[in-house]
Amino acid sequence: MSTPIPADPPARPTVTPQTVAEWSATLARVQAERDSLAVVAERLAEERDQAEAEVLPGTGESEAEDAESESGDPVSLTILSFDDDALAAEVMTMVPWVDHILLGVYGQEITSGRPWCASWPEHDEALARIHHCWLAWQELTDSRSGATGPSVWQRDHLEPLLLKLRAPDGPFGACTTNPDHPHHRLLPHPPFTDPASLPRPGIPRTSV
């Protein structure tokens, strides 16, 4: 009886620089999502603490109402209303999400039909739109939003954002259209309205 010849051991997979790059990109996306989820968890914990705060005696108002400004007006969530320090901190928190979720997962190649600007925080419209989409992502990807939450976020927030943000006539219309030649330029705004040119109340306009 002949001795069976052992089969050759399976060849070890070749690890190429491209494979390492793909692993690194995947790890970066996972870490960015983890960091963003940590921000969500912290904010949810703050909301829970505020909701569980005891009602102040004799006022009928809970500590949750401390979110109002000194003037009594509710604090706006839009980043355009933040002061310089709060804006800088919010942008730094958003950057990993923009790089690894918005662009790393949903971003497409930069072309003349899909421009992008690495200096996106300097574009007020882009900054506001991205921030609003980021806020919605935090809420709608939370487990309490249900199984359809992420899909609702993609449909109602992400897709409109990308269509407007990366349109040829969007806020990046004068910026980068070639990734090898970065470019940044802020488009001029329409002129502001001169209050002196407005008709005064009680004085009818003169017909021409």
Residue (of 86, 173, 92) closest to 125 by Cα position: 173
Write the pLDDT tens digit of every residue in 112-166: 899 999 999 999 999 999 999 999 999 999 888 899 999 999 999 999 999 999 9
Q: Which long-range contacts (CB under 8 A, 24 or more apart) does 131-139 make?
A: 131/78, 131/79, 131/90, 131/94, 132/78, 132/157, 133/102, 133/157, 133/158, 133/161, 134/94, 134/97, 134/98, 135/77, 137/36, 137/97, 137/101, 138/36, 138/39, 138/40, 138/43
Number of domains composing the chain: 1
Domain for residue 148, yes or no? yes
Domain for residue 172, yes or no? yes
Answer yes or no: is pLDDT of 47 > 50: yes
Domain for residue 73, yes or no? no
Range of the domain at 115: 18-49+79-186
Write the pLDDT tens digit of every residue in 167-198: 999 999 989 878 788 888 887 778 877 777 77
